């Protein structure tokens, strides 16, 4: 079954947008560690290492989404899993009322929480990860 060209284009644009977002965020981990501290729950050990490792992961995913089309589906799952893993950090930022990245109100921090599931869906949709999983289950 042939893909619709508009859907293919939208997926490509979304994937490139996610890659650009992840690349900028990943680089930011090394430029502004203080801002990223707001997202790491304070009870976790070695916060700086968590910030740097997650930055490397974000840069790697970004580059992979652009340069490794054969791994697109796996990268989509990895990106979705990453968004799930960092979600508790976003919850922590809300609960501790820590300001960073312009999120200086509870409403702004709560709104951000609502967008995390959207990022997960976009990662799975734009990389065909969800579609691939569904087609395997049918076999």
SS3 of 88-104: the string is HHHHHHHHCCCCECCEC
The full set of domain ranges for the chain reads: 5-131
Helix-helix angle 106-126:5-31, to 10 degrees: 130
Q: How many helices (H) and strands (E) does the chain have?
A: 6, 0
Pair 112, 103: CB distance under 8 Å: yes
Pair 83, 123: CB distance under 8 Å: yes
- Tens digit of each residue's pLDDT, the chain (139 residues): 457 899 999 999 999 999 999 999 999 999 988 888 888 888 899 999 999 999 999 999 999 999 999 999 999 999 999 999 999 999 999 999 988 888 899 999 999 999 999 999 999 999 999 877 667 766 6
What's the confidence (pLDDT) of residue 131? 79
d(CA 126, CA 138): 21
**Model confidence, pTM:** 0.89
DSSP state of 37: H
Pair 19, 50: CB distance under 8 Å: no
């Amino acid at each position: 079954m042939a893909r619709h060209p508009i859907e293919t284009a939208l997926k490509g644009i979304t994937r490139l947008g996610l890659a650009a977002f992840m690349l900028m965020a990943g680089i930011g981990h090394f430029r502004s560690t203080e801002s990223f501290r707001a997202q790491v729950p304070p009870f976790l050990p070695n916060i700086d290492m968590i910030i740097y490792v997650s930055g490397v992961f974000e840069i790697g995913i970004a580059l992979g989404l652009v340069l490794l089309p054969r791994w697109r589906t796996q990268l989509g799952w990895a990106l979705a899993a990453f968004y799930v893993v960092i979600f508790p950090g976003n919850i922590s930022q809300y609960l501790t009322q820590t300001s960073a990245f312009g999120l200086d109100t509870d409403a702004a921090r709560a709104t951000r929480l609502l967008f995390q599931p959207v990022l997960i869906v976009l990662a799975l949709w734009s990389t065909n990860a969800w579609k691939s999983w569904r087609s395997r289950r049918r076999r």
